[in-house]
């Protein structure tokens, strides 16, 4: 979005935070367009949890597929939701066995 803005002085994070992908929540205002983007970072979109008791020792984390990340309460009044999952499907996240491509 920033590449389309002529005067970047009118783009800012509402709470004064530095605009970065590492922060869990950003509220970025584009004054010239009367437009706000709220960015919520959720690594798995679901809640991480401790592994089951009988899990192998190498298992350090389990994902609760029945529980969505708590940040979802912030989305209730949103006009548009965009889920970006592209980083999960890069070559480093795939492996091949014979003719089949599998995900890690």
pLDDT digits (tens, 9 = 90+) for 61-75: 898 889 988 888 888
| Phi, psi (degrees; rounded to nearest 5) at 57 | -60, -30
Of the listed ranges 8-17, 19-28, 47-56, 62-71, the least confidently predicted one is: 19-28
pTM equals 0.58
DSSP string, 6-40: S-GGGEEETTS----TTSSEEEEEEGGGTEEEEEE
Enumerate the β-bridge partners of residue 94: 103
Task: Report the alpha-carbon distance of residue 20 to residue 38 in Å, rounded.
Answer: 13
The total of other beta-carbon atoms located within 10 Å of residue 25's CB is: 13
């Amino acid at each position: 979005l920033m590449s389309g803005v002529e005067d970047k002085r009118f783009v800012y994070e509402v709470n004064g935070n530095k605009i970065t992908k590492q922060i869990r929540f950003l509220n970025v205002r584009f004054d010239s367009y009367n437009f706000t983007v709220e960015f919520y970072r959720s690594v798995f979109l679901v809640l991480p949890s401790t592994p089951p008791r009988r899990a192998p020792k190498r298992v350090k984390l389990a994902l609760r597929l029945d529980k969505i990340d708590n940040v979802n309460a912030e989305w209730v009044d949103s006009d548009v939701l965009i889920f970006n999952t592209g980083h999960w499907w890069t070559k480093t996240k795939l492996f091949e066995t014979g003719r089949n491509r599998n995900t890690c």
